[in-house]
């Protein structure tokens, strides 16, 4: 067949697609909407790497951490900048106090001019938030006048909350970390971080798992209206087109839907891109301009989707005998063969097998083998499912009328049913494997902080020079604070700390009221003036030796200019056993009640406040932050959590969740379209069944069975493949294989839920189609 | 309205419109047990609508229909469905067999919908298939049989419940004359043997010849015709 002939037939198909009247347009539109949704998701996926890279570049471009041991000298091109990040209602606010030291001080990206003292420039999202009614506490915390906006180039997302506020006197507080002097923004020594191979593996698998169902979905979408199309094709045969020509014309019709789908997909993507700029998912937002698909990948989508439409149609029509008259589908299609369907998952396992036991320590995983292996295993689901459905439904016995109608329908055309649930099965198989992998490596990326969140939920340091007692009292009086444990902490050594040799032995010293000290040690009796030497600490080896009455010890100075302050271990020092303190540690060294601390030593210990909040006051943490900032603008009290997780791991997990929701919604939409299409095809039959008295309940139940049987089989297969893939992935990362049945069942449940929702949504149209109007022919 | 004496199914002053299109405009109808009545008329005259109203598939806008002395308008949808299941039988132009069920399962379907066990329903179905000379098709699906055979299977399905009224809407419309005549012979013979009334919608005089009486519908109005002998 010449390319010219191919083109002619495809063109004819294209024309037929649009000249079929209302019916034809509806079919093309349904196909195009399906393909369009898939294309939009593909374009979005191709745009995501770019979006993440732009975010990363912007973050690096505005970096103001120097970590320099000595700051550069003050000049007309320097700036002092202080990190004043805060949190408001669980949302991070990036805050900076800035003090340009000359006219040539570098401007941060996205800022036109420096705000004066008492003024600030803010991100649009922060500006909106500050204007809102529920931001009164944040307005108190940021009492600066808004004089400008941070432009897009200075932000990493449309919903980022950020500000630069003018300040003075920051130079005195330069410490190289929280407060720094800069000559330019940007990371001074950019170091390419070596990606964790397991995180890379997770990333790869997440992408494959999310994109596979989209591909399956597109393949299903181009076959919308297949049955009716087959009947139309018979008419073409009647007027003289040969079998191959007819198939090419059919492919041309599918091509029409795919091409229109590409246009719609571009439109959906454009709309989605704008919408993406206005939403925030799990704390991540982007600007629409970040979401530019890579031109090469976009071109690939533009070529692959129409090509796939043609190929899928030609493949689908392989088993259809289009005759000029009547029956167009072979009444009994050839039985599906298992051997080649098994080849795919087996080949997938074979690709992954060499990486089993590699673990984290042996370099990167081969991404081609990983992608290929996972892809083949998941494609294996789509190949095995039609065989499984055919084999099982062939053996199903008869039951009630609804069951019989459903089983017989599945026996006659199990391929359609299997195609409908293929997407769900692939998504569930992938999700189960990923959940297993996540659950398996979770412990590696989740650290127990050891903090006792029952005893305290927030912590902050009292700035040097401030009275711990007074600040503790301020927080005690703060709304929502139930209790404050105030402890001052320092170190004692057996020699002066400034001396060249320094102390040989040193230990910890903790100062607090008897009530506060009881949080760190078991004290039988305690009065102000008492001193205790602690035992029971895991790491403090020197305490016992130093706790000799009469021994002179030296306080560790809090700054380089600090003077040597000594303290003599009193004769009345008593022994006490340490207990696990709120931070999860067993302290060692000395416990001093306030009167036991020499007045000169007050500056040598740093105050820490551990706050217990009242859960009945929802804004308790915000009140605390406001009081802290009023005490010192550089204060950012930390909120305790029992565990903390790696950021990279968390963002991959977030990505999976967001992607899984999108994919399931997409598949649900596709299922619904296919379901409605099938019902529409059977409208006349449904009406005649109702005419001779079939209960609507019977027909509804039969529709439910028709979906429930293949989905049950699909989910069982998905569980088997998902568990196999999950086990292999875990073995690859060198992790013990365990099955998290809750995740497996919840993933399968989510898949089943989508099907149930689709069936319920298709019931009203089903009831409408069962109306006797369907019998009208004139 | 008082139905004509002895009539099983009667309609008086039926009106039905689909949007601006008037399908029935004061139509009258009656049929006695065992009688075969042909409803004739050109395309779009309202004859199928009349059949659908008589069978309780479509409610008329106004007028009354009585079946066995009961006013159909007073019946609920479930009651009308039950009536169609147990007392009426249907044959449509294209058979409307369920493509995924075998022929015997198709014939047994109305009995199964009435709660008869599968075995018993299929035994009765096979009996009717024998009478209609299609018992050799029992295991075949509708897609594997010819139009005439399929229509005979549809007649068997319509008669399997022992209906008192058989509604046939252009039952031979899709068949050649030879097949059409055979289907009509079998249908009317079977109906007469069970004393079932047959409401036969057709536009072919050849088919109407199998009836005892003809009613012509034109522009939604019906007219009883004398049988020309």
Encode pLDDT of A561-598 as tens digits: 667 888 899 988 898 888 888 888 888 889 999 999 88
Residue A449 burial (CB count, 10 A) = 13
Mutate to test the interface with B, among A227, A390, A693 (most CBs of B within 10 A): A693
Of A203-217, A360-374, A610-624, B87-101, which has the strongest mean pLDDT? A610-624
Contact between A509 and A492 under an 8 Å Cβ cutoff? The reply is yes
Phi, psi (degrees; rounded to nearest 5) at A94 = -85, 115
C-alpha to C-alpha distances, B116 to A403, A443, B82, B120, nearest whole angstrom: 15, 60, 14, 7
Pairwise CB contact (< 8 Å): B110 & A327:
no
Question: Per-residue pLDDT for A265 more than 80?
Answer: yes
Q: Which residues of A touch B (CB under 8 A)?
A: 327, 329, 331, 398, 401, 404-405, 408-409, 411-413, 684-685, 688-695, 698, 772-773, 775-778
How far, in Å, CA of B133 to CA of A216, rounded?
A: 47
Mutate to test the interface with B, among A691, A701, A706, A767 (most CBs of B within 10 A): A691
Question: Would strands A91-100 and A161-166 be described as parallel, antiparallel, or unpaired?
Answer: parallel
> Chain-centre distance of CA A464, in angstroms?
40
Higher pLDDT, A31 or A240: A31
How far, in Å, CA of A129 to CA of A98, rounded?
A: 22
Pairwise CB contact (< 8 Å): A401 & B109:
yes
Which residues touch A130 (CB under 8 Å, ≥6 apart)? A122, A138, A139, A142, A146
Instruction: State the pLDDT confidence band at A21, using cuts at 50, 70 and 90.
Output: low
The shortest CB-CB distance from B96 to any of A688, A695, A778 is to A688
Contact between A434 and A202 under an 8 Å Cβ cutoff? The reply is yes
The shortest CB-CB distance from B143 to any of A331, A404, A777 is to A331
How far, in Å, CA of B161 to CA of B165, rounded?
A: 11
How far, in Å, CA of A434 to CA of A442, rounded?
A: 11
Contact between A115 and A148 under an 8 Å Cβ cutoff? The reply is yes
Q: Tell whether B194 lies on the interface with A, counting CB pairs under 8 A.
A: no
Pairwise CB contact (< 8 Å): A694 & B113:
yes
Instruction: State the pLDDT confidence band at A501, using cuts at 50, 70 and 90.
Output: confident
The model carries a pTM of 0.64
> Residue A119 pairs with which residues in a beta bridge?
A145
Pairwise CB contact (< 8 Å): A401 & B112:
yes
Which residues touch B136 (CB under 8 Å, ≥6 apart)? none
Q: Tell whether B57 lies on the interface with A, counting CB pairs under 8 A.
A: yes
> Chain-centre distance of CA B88, in angstroms?
7
* pLDDT tens readout for residues A437-484: 877 777 777 777 778 888 888 998 888 878 888 889 999 999 999 999
> Which residues of chain A lie closer than 8 angstroms to B101, CB-CB?
404-405, 408
> Which residues of chain A lie closer than 8 angstroms to B144, CB-CB?
327, 331
* pLDDT tens readout for residues A381-405: 888 998 999 899 889 887 888 898 8
Pairwise CB contact (< 8 Å): A693 & B84:
yes
User: Minimal Cα–Cα distance from B147 to chain A, Å?
Assistant: 10
How far, in Å, CA of A495 to CA of A473, rounded?
A: 35
> Which residues of chain A lie closer than 8 angstroms to B86, CB-CB?
693
> Residue A639 pairs with which residues in a beta bridge?
A458
Window 67-86 of B: residues touching A by CB (8 A cutoff) are 81-86
How far, in Å, CA of A721 to CA of A381, rounded?
A: 7
Looking at residue A193, its pLDDT comes to: 56
The shortest CB-CB distance from A772 to any of B58, B88, B118 is to B58
Average pLDDT over residues A202-210: 70
Window 123-162 of B: residues touching A by CB (8 A cutoff) are 141, 143-144, 157-158
Pairwise CB contact (< 8 Å): B109 & A698:
no
Looking at residue A647, its pLDDT comes to: 66
Pairwise CB contact (< 8 Å): B113 & A695:
yes
What DSSP character marks residue A736? -
Average pLDDT over residues A490-511: 83
Phi, psi (degrees; rounded to nearest 5) at A222 = -70, -10
Q: Which two tokens stand for residue A591?
A: 């416990």
Nearest CA in chain A to B158: A692
Closest CA to A404 of B212, B1, B101, B55: B101
Q: Which of A40-54, A114-128, A358-372, B138-152 has the lowest mean pLDDT?
A: A358-372
Q: Give percent above pLDDT 70 in chain B.
A: 96
Q: Tell whether B223 lies on the interface with A, counting CB pairs under 8 A.
A: no
How far, in Å, CA of B153 to CA of B91, rounded?
A: 10
Which segments of A561-682 does DSSP mark as H helices, in order? 620-631, 647-681
Which helix (H) or strand (E) segment holds residue A644: the answer is strand A643-645
How far, in Å, CA of A182 to CA of A23, rounded?
A: 68
C-alpha to C-alpha distances, A362 to A222, A439, A704, B127, nearest whole angstrom: 44, 21, 50, 76
Nearest CA in chain A to B146: A326
Higher pLDDT, A653 or A252: A252
Nearest CA in chain A to B53: A772
User: Minimal Cα–Cα distance from B229 to chain A, Å?
Assistant: 32
C-alpha to C-alpha distances, A177 to A93, A224, A292, A631, nearest whole angstrom: 18, 61, 35, 20
Looking at residue A330, its pLDDT comes to: 46
- Express the helix, strand and coil content of chain A in percent, nearest 5 each: 55, 15, 30
Closest CA to A358 of A735, A738, A739, A737: A735
Instruction: State the pLDDT confidence band at A326, using cuts at 50, 70 and 90.
Output: very low
How far, in Å, CA of B131 to CA of B162, rounded?
A: 14
What DSSP character marks residue A48? H
How far, in Å, CA of B33 to CA of B68, rounded?
A: 10
* pLDDT tens readout for residues A169-187: 888 888 777 888 888 888 6
Q: Tell whether B101 lies on the interface with A, counting CB pairs under 8 A.
A: yes
What DSSP character marks residue A586? B
> Chain-centre distance of CA A726, in angstroms?
19
What DSSP character marks residue A717? H
Q: How many CA atoms lie within 13 A of A167 on its CB side?
A: 24
Q: Tell whether B90 lies on the interface with A, counting CB pairs under 8 A.
A: yes
Q: Tell whether B120 lies on the interface with A, counting CB pairs under 8 A.
A: no
Pairwise CB contact (< 8 Å): B96 & A690:
no
Pairwise CB contact (< 8 Å): A404 & B112:
yes
Question: Would strands B36-40 and B213-218 be described as parallel, antiparallel, or unpaired?
Answer: parallel
Query: ∠ at Cα A688 (A228, A223), nearest 5°?
Result: 20
Pairwise CB contact (< 8 Å): B52 & A772:
yes
Pairwise CB contact (< 8 Å): B98 & A405:
yes
Contact between A428 and A718 under an 8 Å Cβ cutoff? The reply is yes
Size of interface A-B (CB pairs under 8 A): 87
Question: Per-residue pLDDT for B28 more than 80?
Answer: yes
Q: How many helices (H) and strands (E) does chain B have?
A: 7, 10
DSSP SS3 for B119: helix
C-alpha to C-alpha distances, A32 to A234, A313, B68, nearest whole angstrom: 24, 15, 54
How far, in Å, CA of B117 to CA of A480, rounded?
A: 71
Contact between B58 and B135 under an 8 Å Cβ cutoff? The reply is no
Contact between A332 and A319 under an 8 Å Cβ cutoff? The reply is no
How far, in Å, CA of A553 to CA of A192, rounded?
A: 46
Looking at residue A306, its pLDDT comes to: 86
Looking at residue A243, its pLDDT comes to: 72
Looking at residue A123, its pLDDT comes to: 95
Q: Which of A670-679, A718-727, B130-139 has the lowest mean pLDDT?
A: A670-679
Q: Give percent above pLDDT 90 in chain A.
A: 19
Instruction: State the pLDDT confidence band at A238, using cuts at 50, 70 and 90.
Output: low
How far, in Å, CA of A267 to CA of B186, rounded?
A: 60
């Amino acid at each position: 067949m010449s390319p010219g002939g191919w083109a002619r037939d495809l063109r004819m198909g294209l024309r037929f697609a649009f000249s079929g009247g209302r019916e034809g347009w509806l079919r093309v539109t349904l196909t195009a909407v399906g393909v369009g949704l898939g294309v939009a998701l593909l374009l979005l996926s191709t745009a995501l790497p770019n979006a993440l890279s732009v975010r990363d570049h912007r973050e690096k471009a505005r970096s103001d951490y120097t970590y320099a041991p000595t700051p550069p000298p003050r000049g007309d091109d320097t700036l002092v900048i202080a990190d004043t990040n805060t949190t408001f209602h669980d949302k991070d606010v990036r805050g900076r106090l800035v003090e340009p030291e000359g006219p040539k001080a570098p401007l941060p990206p996205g800022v036109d001019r420096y705000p004066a003292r008492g003024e600030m420039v803010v991100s649009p999202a922060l500006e909106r938030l500050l204007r809102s009614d529920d931001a009164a506490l944040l307005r108190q915390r940021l009492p600066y006048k808004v004089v400008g906006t941070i432009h897009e180039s200075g932000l990493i997302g449309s919903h980022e909350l950020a500000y630069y506020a003018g300040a003075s006197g920051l130079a005195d507080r330069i410490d190289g970390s929280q407060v720094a002097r800069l000559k330019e923004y940007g990371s001074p020594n950019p170091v390419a971080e070596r990606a964790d191979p397991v995180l890379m593996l997770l990333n790869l698998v997440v992408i494959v798992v999310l994109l596979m169902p989209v591909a399956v979905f597109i393949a299903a979408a181009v076959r919308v209206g297949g049955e009716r199309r087959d009947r139309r094709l018979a008419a073409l045969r009647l007027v003289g087109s040969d079998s191959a020509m007819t198939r090419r014309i059919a492919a041309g019709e599918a091509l029409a839907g795919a091409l229109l789908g590409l246009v719609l997909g571009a439109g959906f993507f454009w709309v989605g891109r704008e919408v993406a700029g206005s939403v925030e998912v799990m704390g991540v937002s982007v600007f629409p301009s970040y979401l530019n698909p890579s031109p090469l990948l976009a071109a690939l989508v533009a070529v692959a989707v129409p090509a796939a439409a043609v190929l899928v149609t030609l493949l689908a029509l392989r088993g259809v005998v289009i005759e000029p008259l009547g029956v167009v589908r072979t009444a009994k299609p050839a039985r599906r063969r298992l051997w080649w369907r098994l080849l795919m998952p087996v080949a997938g396992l074979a690709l992954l097998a060499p990486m089993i036991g590699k673990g984290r320590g042996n370099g990167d995983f081969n991404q081609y083998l990983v992608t290929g292996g996972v892809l083949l295993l998941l494609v294996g689901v789509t190949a095995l499912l039609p065989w499984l459905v055919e084999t099982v439904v062939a053996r199903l016995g008869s039951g009630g009328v609804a069951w019989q109608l459903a089983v017989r329908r599945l026996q006659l055309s199990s391929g359609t049913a299997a195609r409908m649930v293929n997407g769900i099965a692939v998504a569930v198989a992938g999700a189960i494997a990923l959940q297993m992998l996540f659950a398996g490596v979770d412990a590696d990326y989740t650290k127990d902080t050891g903090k006792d969140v029952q005893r305290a939920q927030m912590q902050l340091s009292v700035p040097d020079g401030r009275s711990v007692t007074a600040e503790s009292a301020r927080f005690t009086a703060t709304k929502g604070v139930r209790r404050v444990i105030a402890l001052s902490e320092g170190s004692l050594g057996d020699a002066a700390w400034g001396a060249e040799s320094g102390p040989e032995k040193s230990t910890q010293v903790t100062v607090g009221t008897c009530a506060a000290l009881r949080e760190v040690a078991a004290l039988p009796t305690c009065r102000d003036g008492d001193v205790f030497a602690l035992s029971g600490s895991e790491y403090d080896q020197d305490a016992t030796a130093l706790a000799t009455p009469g021994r002179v010890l030296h306080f560790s100075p809090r700054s380089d200019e600090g003077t040597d302050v000594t303290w003599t271990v009193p004769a009345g020092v008593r022994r006490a056993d340490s207990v696990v303190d709120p931070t999860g540690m067993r302290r060692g060294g000395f416990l001093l009640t306030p009167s036991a601390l020499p007045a000169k030593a007050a500056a040598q210990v740093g105050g820490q406040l551990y706050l217990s909040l009242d859960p009945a006051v929802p804004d308790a943490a915000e009140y605390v932050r406001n009081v802290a900032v009023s005490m010192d603008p550089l204060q950012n009290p930390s909120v305790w959590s029992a565990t903390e997780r790696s950021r990279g791991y968390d963002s991959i997990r977030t990505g999976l969740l967001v992607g899984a929701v999108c994919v399931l919604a997409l598949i649900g939409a596709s299922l619904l379209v296919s379901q409605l299409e099938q019902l529409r095809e059977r409208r006349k039959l449904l009406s005649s069944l109702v005419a001779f008295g079939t209960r609507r309940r019977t027909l509804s139940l039969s529709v439910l069975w028709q979906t429930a049987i293949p989905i049950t089989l699909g989910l069982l297969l998905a569980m088997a493949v998902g568990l196999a893939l999950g086990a292999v992935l875990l073995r690859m990362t060198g992790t013990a294989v365990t099955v998290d049945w809750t995740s497996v069942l919840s993933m399968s449940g989510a898949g089943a839920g989508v099907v149930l929702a689709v069936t319920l949504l298709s019931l009203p149209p089903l009831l409408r189609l069962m109306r006797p109007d369907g019998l009208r022919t004139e | 309205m008082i139905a004509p004496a002895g009539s099983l199914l009667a309609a008086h002053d039926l009106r039905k419109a689909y949007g601006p299109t008037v399908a029935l405009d004061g139509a009258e109808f009656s049929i006695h047990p065992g009688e075969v009545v042909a409803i004739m008329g050109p395309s779009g005259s309202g004859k199928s609508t009349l059949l659908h109203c008589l069978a309780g598939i479509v409610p008329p806008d106004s007028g009354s229909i009585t079946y066995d002395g009961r006013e159909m308008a007073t019946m609920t949808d479930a009651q009308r469905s039950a009536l169609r299941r147990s007392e009426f039988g249907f044959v449509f132009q294209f058979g409307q067999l369920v493509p995924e069920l075998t022929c015997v399962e198709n014939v047994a379907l109305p009995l199964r919908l009435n709660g008869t066990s599968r075995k018993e329903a299929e035994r009765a179905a096979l009996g009717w298939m024998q009478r209609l000379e299609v018992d050799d098709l029992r295991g075949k699906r509708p897609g594997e049989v010819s139009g005439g055979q399929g229509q005979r299977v549809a007649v068997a399905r319509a008669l399997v419940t022992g209906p008192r009224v058989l509604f046939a809407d252009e039952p031979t419309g899709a068949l050649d004359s030879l097949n059409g005549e055979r289907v009509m012979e079998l249908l009317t013979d079977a109906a007469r043997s069970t004393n079932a009334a047959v409401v036969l919608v057709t536009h072919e005089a050849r088919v109407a010849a199998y009836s005892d009486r003809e009613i012509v519908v034109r522009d939604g109005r019906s007219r009883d015709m004398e049988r020309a002998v």
